[in-house]
Amino acid sequence: MTFERPELEMECIQRILAGEKHLFHGLIQPCEHSIYFLLLSMLHNEAEAEDAAQETAIKVYRNLHLFRGESKFRTWVLSIARNEGLGRLRKAGSLREDSLEAMAEDQEGDFTPAILTSWREIPSETLEKKELAHLLREAIQALPEIYRNVVLLRDIEEMDGRETAAALGISEAAVKVRLHRARLMLQRELAGKLKGFAPRRGLFRWGA
């Protein structure tokens, strides 16, 4: 079940609050992927991210009566997930200071892409090769966290800039800057490695 229409989502929430508790499974299901990978991005540990994802779902359920529909449901859910992740980092004493993030925002940095003279497209069918997906995951995991969270929500979860900004508690302008830098870092990291996955000319064709 997905909720393309917010009014259906609100109706579902009303019914859950009125006692049809079992509907909560269908309400949270479309958010599972985003919750887990945001927490994995923050916590770097699969078991901990899974536990935090379960806690998040329970907190969403317990606080459902507080959701007013001012943002998208998923945005609200992800801000709860983010708080769960921050709480765990704080407890472990490994929370980075906000000032560090602000510094990273200001620094000029070198965001030059990998210079290529030609590019043969890697078709998505190639993802059936496990090592390609692995390379992509590794490159994303290696990004600094402030970039990783943005690229995760914008490019992997395919949320829009506004939704991403609200879920991460940053401005839309910061989302744009971080996404731009993250994409160039990924291009620089991956372009050379991905070239080997390009189909050799003349072997087969895809698309038209």
Per rule CB under 8 A, count of chain residues that contact another protein: 56
| Max intra-chain CA distance, the chain | 62
Among candidate residues 67, 78, 86, the one with its CA nearest the CA of residue 34: 78
Distance CA 38, CA 157 (A): 10
Binding another protein by CB under 8 A: which of 39, 53, 165, 170? 53
Residue 37, token pair as written in the block: 């990978």
10 touches another protein (CB under 8 A): no
Smaller CB separation from another protein, 100 or 131 = 131
Pick from 1, 8, 58, 92: which binds another protein (CB under 8 A)? 58
Q: Which two tokens stand for residue 69?
A: 């529909």
Residue (58 or 86) nearer to another protein, CB: 58
Whether 152 contacts 37, CB under 8 Å: yes
Shortest gap between Cβ of 146 and another protein (angstroms)?
15
Q: Does 101 bind another protein (CB under 8 A)?
A: no
Please name which of 102, 73, 86 lies closest in space to residue 171, comparing C-alpha atoms: 102
Q: Please tell me the distance from the alpha carbon of residue 32 to that of residue 162, in angstroms, as a whole number.
A: 20
Q: What do you get for the CA distance between the two ends of the chain, in Å?
A: 34
Residue number with CB closer to another protein (65 or 205): 65
Residues in touch with another protein (CB under 8 A): 16-17, 19, 21-22, 24-25, 28-29, 32-33, 36-37, 46, 50, 53-54, 57-58, 61-62, 64-65, 111-119, 121-122, 124, 127-128, 132-133, 136-137, 140, 151, 155-156, 158, 176, 179-180, 183-184, 186-187, 190-191, 194
